[in-house]
């Protein structure tokens, strides 16, 4: 081994624009689990939680592969027909991010000795986590540790870390162990039903091999039938006199390097890891091992600096569309970029994979895919990274056969997509909030319709798109029923508000089903060959259209508001006067029997219907509905603040909208729900973009045209965002006085049509189009929130 090169070490202690960097220090170590989620790196296939290199202290270690899970049995005190018998639970892949250090026999542990400096930075432009620590051991030996890690966005299987240690003041004996560890112990949380189930030793060793500094481990799951392989390749640059060796066991491969480190020298270790996962009936263990070894070797041959350069180039291209400029509040500017970074790295375009509710940042919700993806994440990716949205929708299509089987089991036509899943089967064992949440099917259809409208992807519509639309339309047509008044009803469903279950005529579900039915009818009429292939005849299409036209929307004419569900406004009011701050979230302190029968709303439901289907409501109806439901919505869900912000902005309550946006975008960075340690809330992060673009930008897309009714709150001096619309990149710049629309990449003679406050305008590549910002009508007094539940005031004194 040769003396270390003279190039400067990687370190985070360089100045930078803090609006592009998330920094945590030793003062934050008491919230280590939260930091691990915030500093998680992913490329939509591999996910490394932001745990410390040395592995301790930790909140929840985790290395995830998209789709790697194990099956476990569900048990019921009293079983019933069609109750799911098994569930999927995400499991950790072998962890290749561990680099442990012993200093004169004492392990590096920030809970012991003296921490002279500890600085970690998530760089949103570089796509890296950098670390600088100066630590004095209990015996008085000082070292400086630096590291840079990344999960490669352009190279699907690859993650890497460059790590170094220096002696501070005097020579010291050091031992470095770079571990590849399978079946890592994960702490179990039993205090919250939203926490993940923890499986002990879910991976069984099948094959291991080491050669030189490198090696590979291959494992398999017991019940889900998956095989996972991880290979590591190393570069070791150490002073003369250091010894090294590799130990290869079934669940651990360890490279050890040890020797005496003098202050003027440095030991550096760079690890390149490659991950792959296949069904057990795919490649053999040896073949899979050979595949990942080749990938790791190739990454090492290219070098860590090449990975860094490719990472930056990939992100530079992504940020051209994904970046949102928010002048007026640096904290929220930083938080907005943090949100967009995690959305960018959550998906992949080069494989049919979707995005779980936590992405690959934690094991919350058992790693399940929920309606959050189609409801909150894909509406963003459709406009900033449509190739990622397409991949997620193709994943749904790949599991259409299981959705058909589930519908048949429920005695329903068409397809019933699962409420919670990883492998495609229904995993929710709680009937009222799971199986009855049929709106997930309309959410998927809605995502298809918005994606096709935004991209013009006719190939997708003619293939997977039309088939998903048809099968979900068949579900609604068969599930609903006609009353003797000629109305079409959907009874016994659960809408987005999980404090109301098995209700009749949930407005959100009914309107989304209407959109689904009409979208399917339009699609098969445009693609008669697909209609023939799927056995759709004119009579069936006519039935869809008739049902859509007759969908019943419950309305309280005395109060002059829509009822969230039939009879909702006649239910008893919740006793907010005797509900304390410590009683939230209500689901942890009150029985569902009490929640279900009262007028208390966990998350936006009727308000979400007004966001998703704005053309179904008049301006006056929106204002009255918003005021009524604002007073009853407690936001015990991270899904709530965003749609509330959008509608608050539309009806003119801009201060409230701004505070709701702040709550959404800071949900994880400030750990507002005390759940960030289980993984990030991607729906809240996506919702922050929706609050900005749909709320203050006034963007609407529900009728396949792009319209804007922008209005800025006084806390924002300038708002700039981009949208992909078909083949163009539209830039929208808003100031208090004017709106500016431009196509920065287009030829002068090409353009698109958009609407600005009811005026049709054509935007071309020739020059920007500007229009004045009309004054916002006075909406009157801000509607009250439930006592103590108004979002935190941002940028103004509390009233």
Q: What is the pLDDT of residues 700-752, one digit of tens each?
A: 998 778 999 999 999 999 999 999 999 999 999 999 999 999 999 999 999 99
Q: Give mean pLDDT, residues 627-653.
A: 98
Check whether 371 is labelled as a binding-site residue: yes
For residue 427, give the 3-state DSSP assignment.
Answer: coil
Name the nearest CA neighbour of 196 among 358, 403, 410: 358
The CA R_g of the chain, rounded to the nearest whole Å, is 27
Which residues make beta-bridge pairs with 181?
A: 95, 252
Name the nearest CA neighbour of 221 among 205, 232, 198: 205
Q: Look at residue 317 and tell me if it is in a domain.
A: no
Q: Look at residue 563 and tell me if it is in a domain.
A: no
Q: Look at residue 379 and tell me if it is in a domain.
A: no
pLDDT in tens, 324-338: 999 999 999 999 999
Q: Residue 303 contacts by C-beta under 8 Å, 6 or more apart in sequence?
A: none
Name the nearest CA neighbour of 359 among 709, 739, 49: 49
Pull the structure tokens for residue 660.
Answer: 């709701």
Q: Residue 280 contacts by C-beta under 8 Å, 6 or more apart in sequence?
A: 220, 225, 226, 227
pLDDT in tens, 56-69: 999 999 999 999 99
Residues 287 and 403 in one domain: no
**CATH number of the domain enclosing 451:** 1.50.10.10
Taking a C-beta distance cutoff of 8 angstroms, is the pair 598, 623 a contact? no
Alpha helices for 598-731 (secondary structure H): 606-612, 619-630, 641-651, 654-665, 682-690
Alpha helices for 280-385 (secondary structure H): 285-302, 304-322, 330-344, 372, 378-384
Q: Look at residue 412 and tell me if it is in a domain.
A: yes
pLDDT in tens, 505-515: 999 999 999 99
More reliable by pLDDT, 491 or 3: 491
Q: Residue 352: what pLDDT?
A: 85
pLDDT in tens, 359-377: 999 999 999 999 999 999 9
Residues 258 and 403 in one domain: no
Stretch among 104-113, 183-192, 492-501 having the lowest mean pLDDT:
183-192
Q: Look at residue 459 and tell me if it is in a domain.
A: yes
Sorting pLDDT into bands at 50, 70 and 90, what band is 550? very high
pLDDT in tens, 641-670: 999 999 999 999 999 999 999 999 999 999
Sorting pLDDT into bands at 50, 70 and 90, what band is 3? very low
Q: Regarding beta strands 128-136 and 86-90, do their DSSP bridges make them parallel or antiparallel, or are they unpaired?
A: unpaired
Among the candidates 245, 272, 291, a domain finishes at 291
Q: Look at residue 175 and tell me if it is in a domain.
A: yes
Q: Look at residue 112 and tell me if it is in a domain.
A: yes
Q: Residue 433: what pLDDT?
A: 82
For residue 616, pLDDT beyond 50: yes
Pull the structure tokens for residue 314.
Answer: 């990939």
Sorting pLDDT into bands at 50, 70 and 90, what band is 432? confident
Q: Regarding beta strands 751-756 and 707-708, do their DSSP bridges make them parallel or antiparallel, or are they unpaired?
A: parallel
Question: How far apart, in whole angstroms, are the C-alpha atoms of residue 75 and residue 78?
Answer: 9
pLDDT in tens, 167-206: 999 999 999 999 999 999 887 765 555 555 678 899 999 9
Sorting pLDDT into bands at 50, 70 and 90, what band is 1? very low
Pull the structure tokens for residue 432.
Answer: 């009222």
Q: Look at residue 350 and tell me if it is in a domain.
A: no
Q: Give mean pLDDT, residues 95-115.
A: 97
Q: What is the DSSP letter of 422?
A: S
pLDDT in tens, 227-260: 999 999 999 999 999 999 999 999 999 999 999 9
Number of residues in the chain: 799
**CATH number of the domain enclosing 80:** 2.70.98.40
Question: How far apart, in whole angstroms, are the C-alpha atoms of residue 41 and residue 198?
Answer: 22
Residues 165 and 36 in one domain: yes
pLDDT in tens, 214-233: 999 999 999 999 999 999 99
For residue 11, pLDDT beyond 70: no
Among the candidates 553, 574, 597, a domain finishes at 553
Question: How far apart, in whole angstroms, are the C-alpha atoms of residue 17 and residue 157?
Answer: 30
- The distance from CA 150 to its chain's CA centroid, rounded to whole angstroms, is 19
Residues 195 and 52 in one domain: yes
Check whether 603 is labelled as a binding-site residue: yes
Among the candidates 249, 273, 291, a domain finishes at 291
Q: Hey, which residues are catalytic here?
A: 498
Place of tokens 């889900």: 224
Sorting pLDDT into bands at 50, 70 and 90, what band is 633? very high
The domain tally of the chain equals 2
**How many angstroms separate the Cα of 554 from the Cα of each of 19, 403, 568, 602, 607?**
46, 30, 9, 20, 14
The three-point CA angle 421-424-428 to 5° equals 35
Tell me the residue range of the domain where 504 lies. 399-553
pLDDT in tens, 538-547: 999 999 999 9
Residues 169 and 49 in one domain: yes
Check whether 345 is labelled as a binding-site residue: no
Instruction: Look over the chain and give the mean of its residue pLDDT values, rounded to a whole number.
Output: 94
Cβ neighbours around 37 below 10 Å, total: 27
For residue 522, pLDDT beyond 90: yes
For residue 643, give the 3-state DSSP assignment.
Answer: helix
Q: Residue 405: what pLDDT?
A: 98
Check whether 85 is labelled as a binding-site residue: no
Taking a C-beta distance cutoff of 8 angstroms, is the pair 332, 370 a contact? no
Q: Residue 16: what pLDDT?
A: 57
Taking a C-beta distance cutoff of 8 angstroms, is the pair 244, 236 a contact? yes
Residues 287 and 415 in one domain: no
User: For a pLDDT cut of 90, what percent of the chain falls above it?
Assistant: 91
Taking a C-beta distance cutoff of 8 angstroms, is the pair 180, 95 a contact? yes
Q: Give mean pLDDT, residues 583-594.
A: 95
């Amino acid at each position: 081994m040769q003396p270390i090169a003279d190039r400067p070490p990687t370190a985070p202690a360089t100045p930078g624009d803090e609006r592009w960097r998330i920094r945590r220090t030793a003062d934050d170590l008491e919230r280590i689990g939260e930091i691990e989620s915030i500093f998680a790196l992913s490329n939509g296939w591999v996910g490394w939680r932001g745990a410390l290199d040395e592995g301790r202290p930790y909140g929840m270690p985790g290395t995830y592969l998209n789709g790697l899970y194990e099956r476990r049995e569900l048990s019921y005190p009293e079983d019933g027909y069609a109750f799911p018998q098994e569930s999927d639970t995400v499991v950790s892949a072998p962890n290749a991010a561990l680099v442990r250090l012993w200093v004169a026999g004492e392990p590096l542990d920030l809970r012991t000795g003296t921490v002279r400096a500890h600085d970690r930075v998530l760089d949103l432009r570089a796509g890296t986590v950098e670390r600088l620590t100066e630590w004095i051991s209990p015996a008085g030996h000082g070292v400086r540790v630096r590291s840079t890690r990344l999960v490669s966005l352009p190279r699907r299987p690859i993650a890497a870390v460059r790590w170094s240690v220096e002696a501070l003041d005097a020579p010291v004996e050091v031992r470095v162990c770079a571990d590849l560890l399978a079946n890592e112990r994960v702490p179990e949380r039993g205090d919250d039903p939203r926490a993940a189930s923890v499986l002990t030793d879910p991976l069984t060793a099948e094959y291991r091999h080491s050669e030189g500094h490198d090696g590979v481990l291959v494992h398999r799951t017991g019940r889900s039938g998956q095989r996972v392989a991880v290979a590591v390749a190393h570069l070791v640059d150490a002073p003369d006199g250091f010894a090294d060796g590799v130990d290869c066991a079934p669940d651990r491969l360890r490279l050890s390097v040890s020797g005496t480190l003098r202050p003027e020298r440095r030991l550096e270790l760079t690890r390149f890891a490659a991950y792959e996962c296949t069904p057990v009936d795919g490649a053999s263990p040896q073949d899979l091992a050979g595949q990942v070894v080749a990938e790791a070797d190739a990454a090492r041959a290219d070098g860590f600096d090449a990975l860094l350069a490719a990472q930056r180039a990939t992100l530079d291209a992504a940020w051209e569309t994904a970046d949102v400029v928010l002048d007026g509040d640096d904290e929220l500017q930083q938080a907005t970029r943090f949100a967009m970074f995690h959305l960018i790295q959550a998906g992949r375009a080069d494989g049919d994979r979707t995005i779980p509710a936590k992405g690959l940042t934690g094991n919350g919700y058992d790693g399940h895919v929920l309606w959050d993806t189609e409801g909150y994440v894909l509406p963003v990716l459709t406009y900033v990274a449509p190739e990622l949205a397409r991949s997620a929708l193709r994943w749904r299509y790949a599991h259409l056969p299981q959705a058909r089987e589930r519908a048949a089991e429920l005695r329903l036509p068409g397809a019933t997509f699962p409420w919670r899943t990883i492998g495609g089967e229904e995993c929710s064992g709680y009937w009222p909030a799971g199986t009855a949440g049929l709106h997930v099917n309309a959410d998927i259809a809605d995502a298809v319709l918005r994606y096709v409208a935004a991209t013009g992807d006719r190939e997708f519509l003619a293939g997977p798109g039309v088939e998903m639309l048809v099968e979900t339309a068949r579900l609604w047509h068969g599930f609903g029923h006609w009353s003797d008044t000629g109305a079409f009803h959907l009874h016994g469903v659960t809408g987005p508000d999980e404090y109301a279950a098995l209700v009749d005529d949930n407005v959100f579900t009914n309107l989304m089903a209407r959109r689904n039915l009409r979208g399917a009818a339009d699609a098969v009429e445009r693609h008669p060959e697909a209609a023939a292939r799927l056995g759709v005849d004119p009579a069936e299409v006519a039935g869809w259209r008739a049902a859509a036209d007759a969908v019943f929307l419950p309305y309280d004419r005395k109060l002059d508001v829509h009822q969230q569900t039939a009879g909702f406004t006649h239910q008893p009011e919740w006793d907010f006067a005797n509900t304390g701050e410590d009683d939230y979230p209500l689901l942890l302190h009150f029985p569902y029997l009490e929640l279900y029968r009262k007028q208390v709303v966990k998350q936006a439901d009727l308000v979400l219907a007004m966001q998703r289907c704005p053309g179904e409501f008049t301006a006056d109806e929106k204002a009255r509905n918003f005021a009524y439901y604002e007073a009853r919505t407690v936001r015990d869900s991270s899904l709530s603040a965003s749609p509330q912000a959008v509608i608050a902005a539309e009806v003119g309550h801009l201060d409230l909208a701004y505070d709701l946006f702040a709550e959404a975008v800071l949900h994880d960075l400030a750990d507002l729900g005390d759940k960030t340690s289980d993984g990030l809330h991607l729906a809240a992060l996506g919702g922050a973009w929706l609050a900005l673009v749909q709320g203050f930008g006034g963007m609407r897309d529900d009728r396949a045209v792009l319209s804007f009714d922008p209005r800025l709150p006084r806390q924002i001096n300038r708002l700039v965002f981009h949208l992909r619309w078909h083949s163009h990149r539209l830039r929208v710049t808003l100031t208090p006085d004017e709106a500016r629309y431009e196509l920065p990449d287009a030829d002068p003679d090409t353009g698109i049509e958009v609407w600005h406050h009811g005026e049709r305008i054509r935007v071309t590549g020739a020059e920007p189009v500007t229009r004045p910002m009309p004054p916002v009508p006075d909406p009157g007094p801000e509607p009250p929130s439930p006592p103590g539940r108004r979002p935190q005031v941002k940028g103004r004194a509390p009233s």
